[in-house]
Structure 1
Amino acid sequence: MSQESAAPQKAKIGAEVVVEALERRGVKWIFGVPGAKIDSVFNALKDSAIQTVVCRHEQNAAFIAGGIGRMTGRAGVAIATSGPGSSNLVTGLATANTEGDPIVALGGAVGLEDRLKKIHQTLDSVNLCKPVTKYSVEVDSPRAVAEVMENAFRAAEGGRPGASFVSLPTDVMAAPAACEVLEPSLAPRLGAADAAAIQEAARLINKAKKPIVLLGMLASKVSNVDAIRRLLLDGKLPVVGTFQAAGAVSLTEFPNFAGRVWQTNNLPGDMALAHADLVVTIGYDPVEYWPSIWNRGKARPIIHIDVEGADIDNSYRPSVELVGDVGATVAALTPLIKHSGPDLEMSNLLVEIAREREEMARISAAKNGTPIHPLRIVNELQSLLSPDMSLCLDMGSFHLWIARNLHSFRARQILISNGQQTLGVALPWAIAATLVRPADKVVSISGDGGFMFSAMELETAVRLQSHLVHMVWIDGTYDMVATQERVKYGRASGIEFGPVDPVKYAEAFGATGMMIRSPDEIRPVMKQALDASGPVIVGIHVDYRDNHTLFESVDTRAIH
């Protein structure tokens, strides 16, 4: 035996175990910003099959990872160094955790013996992240590296998905790991909810004269939509959905779809929801639409279908809770529903809502002039929204116009921030979409305020050669805030900022920049942008004079 073959195999260090754990979890990309306290993990990544994507800000790294989690159901991974590197992850973790997006974030840390000292970049990142995660821990021993990594993924992907944070002290990462990498364990698979509870839910639905279904964020999960659509179709049930349920209803069930609902309680769907004598919530989280708004003072039965029990509220006390796999539970419930369909009043309401949709489309198509009315932009986007497109929305006035009036029939085709309503998510989500949905056309949209929260990641998109189109609606203000301030106080405060030329900005990063200058240019410019290679920024000046109607009235005749 040669001396070389007899040499003992070098023990893996903690950083190498972390990276191998990621590989065994099937992680393809990791997004982050390097630093001295996490450099051993970056060094180990160099020898792995994982693509390290360096971002321009840790918050955006978390946004990209969260977007991957939402679109795939598998945790995306972000990485940052100690101190401000880890604290910069917090907004991304809070967004993902609130909105049910699985993500695992890794943060560097000072050595164990220094963590109580006031030295460079000392920070109790574990306790900082606990309120915004499902799981936040520090690896405090070389023996614990593999098990902590496994538990982080299980927490992020299990139940109602969310965020995990793992603090990796620099000395533990550099030390020989006294453990073996664990094979990923199969997450416990929930079955349908309790049979007796399902029977009781069916009895209540069949007894009701005016039941309605309220779809939430988990209703748009790809594994749940087929069962939900079958329930709506076979059960002849009218339905509304939160913004994050977009795409759960297909074109087949669309005639019974009363629309989306949101926190202003002034949408057509709200009328249908108010009319119902029983509400079936599916995959709904109160953060999407507060029960105190849509159910205050109502004594009607509520049936709660979710992977977790209800958060009891004065206005949300379910009569029956069906806790289990959402798809399996809905599939078990469907054959028990013997409902004749919407009553006459609800039927008339659905017909009127459908008529108003058609009228809104007619009004929208006729909107001319510059700046351009949001409804005209939405109307043109609807014509461009093919089944092979992903649409990622930031937060702002534009987001409300789109969420209310643009229809999607593919689960999670539209990504919306509805829990934290976080500015800056759209472009990072679009970058994620180009990675996990390479066959899709990818469009992201922000206002000119939200755009600057993550605009630096345009360089990342250029480096990745991401084929995406980012549309910037320009008005020079934080208009959604301004509109609400005017409703409350009769005036706006602190909402103006200076201009940025989106074409020059794009070109400075090596991307393509375009402007839409009239309503008739929307479709041809967007088609040109979608056909271009690499990232494209498209600017458009918008007329927000009707934004008060978003908060005051749903009557289309109020829009002039």
Structure 2
Amino acid sequence: MTNQTGAQALIQTMINQGVKYVFGLPGAKVDRLFESLEHSDDPKTPKLIITRHEQNAAFIAAGIGRLTGKPGIVATTSGPGVSNLATPLITATAEGDPVVAISGQVPRNDIARLTHQSISSKELLSAATKDSVEVQDANNLSESFANAYQNSITAKAGATFISIPQDVLNDDVDRPVIKPLHKIHQGGMDKAIIDKIVEKIEHAKLPVILAGMRSSTNDVTEAIHTFLRKFSIPVVETFQGAGVISRDLEKNYYGRVGLFRNQIGDTMLKESDLIIAVGYDPIEYEARNWNIDRTGEIINIDAVKPEITNDYQPDLLVNADIAKTLNSISEQLPDDIDLGKEMHEHLADQQEKFTKKDAIPANHSDKNGIHPLAIIHALQNQVNDDTTVTVDVGSLYIWMARHFRSYKPRHLLFSNGMQTLGVALPWAIAAALERPEQPVVSVAGDGGFLFSGQELETAVRLHLNIVQLIWDDGYYDMVRFQEIAKYGHDAGVKLGHVDFVKYAESFGATGMRVEKTEDLEPMLTKAFNTEGPVILHIPVDYSDNIKLSSKLVDDVLN
């Protein structure tokens, strides 16, 4: 197609790939793209959503990527507009969330000069992305975007970056744009390997599935369910594998592992003589934490080749389509395969001990704040299986990961690769855009919330139904309780007071404050029934945090 600018060709390529949104901040080096997005006559043009910070724009795009499996798109200007993308893009790349980031650049003849906002954008973000390019010809823009799009979703999914000089966006294009891309299909594993896996499973005393980040796609999750209905064995989720176990298969759920090696899941992995690692990525929970003092075997089933270390050398590697492989295994398993009465009794005993840890301490008072488990219980009673819950980093994220149940994949979201503060509200905005039929819950601490709290205005402007819980204790507590455990005191973790109710109201949102445990459920009900964004300010008592690092299994603090 002719008579298009580079910006228009780029937008048409986005339309061809079904892109719904572009998140970002304006600037002179990218204004042609923003102008063309805002004033396009094509109803299929992606909606331009302006945010309050480039970092948060990219977090929202990453949320879109995690929820849909299709890349979220972020666009920024040059200079600091580029550098502000580093943290969210490296988070997306580490945690397998597809994102395509586009940034303006100074005109081509200024790139080598010390001119206004001239930085080596491509080089800067090469370490944060799967691929980073700078386009020098407008005729290459459509191809570059199509390749960035496809690269971002190819396993392991992650972020890609395109730097576009200002004059390239303005130049004329005389080549046709790239048509809609076709899905890349991976093959399954050959029958000889499937037979070998089945043989190992049949001879194992206690096979256990370790469900990692790439197990949380719909097709892989369904394949795991099919397997479990054929052979009922324990499943341990990583934080990003949350929701792999459905409600009807809850008997197979043995918790989540991450951070400290002291969970029921760690016990299961240690006892297992055959771990079936499904879509497991070591950045979630390194093998040195769970694969020590073990004598059993490991089967690694993934679309990505595993990183081999002294702590992780699987006995059988399957690099293929995960769902196809699991379904082939299920088909070949004997109909009468079973763990046996004695093992079932042992597992029931372990699960009973596990479940008891969810109980709210009977002797807890609200004098210094509400107990984390009381907040979790109240929230659990409020949500349904379709509610999306996004969780920021902090002590709350450990409590939520260990005790909050989720029964659908990618409905309970954690940053467990980079553990990046500030992700919860941007991810909630993404969820509210993609899943508007359900309320969305964002959970953050008083520290992490203010990393991205300015996006509350974005949520108000978009009329999004988001309930934002803020667990407030006045500290960066995830650091604090570990410092106390290690040194007997804390340092550099104290925060000042913020009135989050007034903060919410200043943005046009609704602010509420909970003072005592008995008010939690009615206040949550009120928040869920309120139109638009709601902040629920909850004082929290983290005095039981030291139990988070107690030694069920020999360990050291991270």
Normalising by structure 2, report the TM-score. 0.95
Per-residue displacement from partner, 1:217-263 (whole Å, max 9, x unpaired)?
Answer: 11111221111111122122221111111110112322122211112
CA-CA distance at 1:349 after TM superposition:
4.1
Secondary structure, counterpart of 2:532 in structure 1: coil
Seq. identity, %:
41
Deviation at 1:179, TM superposition (A): 2.2
Matches within 5 A, 1:57-68: 57-68=53-64
How many angstroms apart in 2 are the aligned matches of 1:485 and 1:14? 53
Aligned counterparts of 1:193 and 1:61: Cα–Cα separation in 2? 39
Residue 347 (structure 1) aligns with: 344
Q: Give 2:131's aligned residue.
A: 135
**Separation in 2 of the partners of 1:297 and 1:282?**
21
Runs of 4+ in 1 over 6 A off after TM superposition: none
Q: Which residue of 2 aligns with 1:466?
A: 464
SS of corresponding position for 1:496: coil
Letter in 1 for 2:189: A
Aligned to 1:490: 488
Which of residues 150, 155, 176 is equivalent to 2:151? 155
C-alpha deviation, 1:361, in angstroms: 4.0
Unaligned runs of 5+ in 1: 1-8, 556-560
Structure 1 residues 364 and 16, CA gap change in structure 2 (3 angstroms): farther
Indicate how the Cα distance of structure 1 residues 317 and 14 shifts in structure 2: closer, same or farther if over 3 A, else same: same
Contact preservation (8 Å) 1:80, 1:108: yes
SS at match of 1:486: helix
Match of 2:86 in 1: 90
- Say which of 276, 279, 286 aligns to 2:275: 279
Q: In 2, distance between residues paired with 1:213 and 1:387?
A: 22
Contact 1:305/1:321 (<8 A) preserved? yes
1:310 pairs with one of 306, 311, 328: 306
Deviation at 1:169, TM superposition (A): 0.8
SS, match of residue 197 in structure 2: helix
The answer as to 2:352 corresponding to 1:360 is no
- Is 1:543 aligned with 2:535? no
- Residue 106 of structure 1 aligns to a residue whose secondary structure is strand
Q: 1:352 Cα deviation (Å)?
A: 2.5
Alpha-carbon distance change, 206 to 453 in structure 1, aligned in 2, over 3 angstroms: same
How far apart are the structure 1 equivalents of 2:380 and 2:47? 35
Q: Distance in 2 between matches of 1:111 and 1:380?
A: 55
What is the identity, as a one-letter code, of the residue corresponding to 2:357? M
Residue 467 of structure 1 contacts residue 533 of structure 1 at CA under 8 Å; is this kept in 2? Answer: yes
Moved more, 371-380 or 256-265: 256-265
Where does residue 11 of structure 2 map in the other structure?
Answer: 19
C-alpha distance in 2, partners of 1:158/1:365? 49
8 Å CA contact retained: 1:194, 1:322: no
Matched-pair contact (CA < 8 Å) for 1:431–1:461: yes
CA RMSD for the aligned pairs? Answer: 1.7
Instruction: Please state how far the C-alpha of 1:177 moved relative to its aligned partner.
Output: 1.8
SS of the aligned residue for 2:357 comes to helix
Structure 2 CA distance for aligned equivalents of residues 421 and 288 of structure 1:
10
Q: Deviations over 1:447-474 (max 9, x none)?
A: 0000010000011111111111100000
Q: Is the 8 A contact 1:142 1:179 kept in 2?
A: no
Task: Provide the residue aligned with 1:558 in structure 2.
Answer: none
1:544 alignment partner, SS class: coil
Cα deviation, 1:310-346, whole Å, max 9, x if unaligned, reads 1111111111111111111111111223474346665
Structure 2 unaligned residues grouped into runs of 5+? 554-558
Question: Which of 421, 428, 433 is equivalent to 2:431?
Answer: 433
Shift of the alpha carbon at 1:124?
1.0
Q: In 2, are the aligned partners of 1:261 and 1:269 still within 8 Å (CA)?
A: yes
Letter of the structure 1 residue corresponding to residue 397 of structure 2:
H
Contact 2:243 2:412 in 1 (8 A): yes
The 5 A counterparts of 1:37-436 are 37-48=29-40, 49-338=45-334, 340-342=337-339, 346-363=343-360, 367-370=364-367, 371-436=369-434
Aligned residues: 547
> Take 1:232 and 1:360, find their aligned partners in 2: how far apart are those partners?
25
Q: Deviations over 1:364-416 (max 9, x none)?
A: 57754241010111111111121231101001101111110111111111111
| Aligned-partner residue type, residue 255 of structure 1 | K
- Mapped to 2, the partners of 1:314 and 1:525 lie a distance apart of 50
Say whether the 8 Å CA contact 2:264–2:354 is kept in structure 1.
Answer: no
Give the TM-score, by structure 1 length. Answer: 0.95
Deviation at 1:78, TM superposition (A): 0.6
Tell me the amino acid that sits aligned with residue 349 of structure 2: E
Does residue 22 of structure 2 align to residue 33 of structure 1?
no
* Structure 1 counterpart SS, 2:4: coil
- The aligned amino acid for 1:517 is E
- Partners of 2:520 and 2:552 in 1: CA distance: 26
Residue 266 of structure 2 aligns with an amino acid whose one-letter code is: D
* Letter of the structure 2 residue corresponding to residue 396 of structure 1: G
Query: CA 1:72 to 1:364, structure 2 compared with 1: closer, same or farther past 3 Å?
Result: farther
